[in-house]
Amino acid sequence: MADTVKKILLVEDDRQLSDLVTDFLTSEGYHVKQEFRGDTVAKRVELFSPDLIILDIMLPGKDGFAVCRDLRPTFFGPILMLTAKGTDFDQVLGLEIGADDYVIKPVEPRVLLARITALLRRGELPNQSQEIGEISYGHLQINRASRKVTLKDENVDLTSQEFDLLWLLAIKAGEVQNRDYIYKAVVGREYDGLDRSVDVRISRLRKKLFDDTETPFRIKTIWGQGYLFVPDAWN
């Protein structure tokens, strides 16, 4: 396969649905491998090295939440949860354990394709961010090329969208970034006024960067406006 062809691992135990999604994504130029059990995903990821994983929740062997949680220490590509469950609790839980996005079945193929395209647009942030390779604030270092973050010389493991969100805030340090801008730049779609995915990722970033979750001083919430990265809070 050519290097430009993106590889997708589809984890879905409904074989008819899996075949349909695989055929569609293959016709769109993706290289797709199928997996039908949760407890065999880790080995397949190791062998296949996918660029993106589509992960169902209700799986034999191990459910999708457990799979996502177990993958996150070593897999840093996007994980898209594909689920028949539509409750807010399930969506937020998926994001909290490291999923990058979710779609609720049944999903239109073009909607799924749009989500995949947005997730694979990793690091493509607008304007001057393309020209900057590394940012440092006190003990925090962020390297865009390697997508590596260190704080006090310790590695900080981030998902793809957590990194993109941190980079976006850091290159605009001292400026409030509203949700509309963040969703377009990081999530890849318009903010609908209900989606909580960015709020969840901000919360995860704060925990990983040792910010105060009750009274944040590194990544502040500016109520009614958005989020503010504080440049002098990293010493």
Closest CA to 161 of 188, 191, 129, 127: 188
With a cut of 60, say whether residue 213 has pLDDT above it.
yes
Side by side, the strands of the sheet bearing 176-178 are 176-178, 226-229, 219-222
CATH number of 7-120: 3.40.50.2300
- Write down the pLDDT at residue 3: 52
- Write down the pLDDT at residue 127: 46
Top pLDDT among 174 and 3 is at 174
With a cut of 60, say whether residue 104 has pLDDT above it.
yes
Highest average pLDDT, of 82-91, 185-194, 196-205, 216-225, comes from 216-225
Q: pLDDT tens digits, residue range 110-119?
A: 889 988 988 8
Torsion sign (Cα): 94, 98, 100, 105: negative
What gap in Å lies between CA 227 and CA 186, rounded to an integer?
Answer: 14
On average, the pLDDT of the chain sits at: 86
Block residue for tokens 């397949």: 44
89 band by pLDDT with thresholds 50, 70 and 90: low
Domain chopping of the chain, boundaries: 7-120, 127-229
What gap in Å lies between CA 99 and CA 137, rounded to an integer?
Answer: 28
Top pLDDT among 37 and 91 is at 37
Q: pLDDT tens digits, residue range 28-40?
A: 999 999 999 999 9
What gap in Å lies between CA 7 and CA 49, rounded to an integer?
Answer: 8
- Write down the pLDDT at residue 123: 46
- Write down the pLDDT at residue 85: 67
- Write down the pLDDT at residue 92: 67
The CA-based angle 51-54-59, given to 5 degrees, is 135
153 band by pLDDT with thresholds 50, 70 and 90: very high
Q: What is the CATH T-level fold of the domain 127-229, as seen in this structure?
A: Arc Repressor Mutant, subunit A (1.10.10)
Residues 6+ apart with CB under 8 A from 235: 138, 139
Closest CA to 95 of 195, 215, 227: 195
With a cut of 70, say whether residue 130 has pLDDT above it.
no
Structure tokens at 66: 């457990």
146 band by pLDDT with thresholds 50, 70 and 90: confident
With a cut of 50, say whether residue 1 has pLDDT above it.
no
Top pLDDT among 199 and 56 is at 56
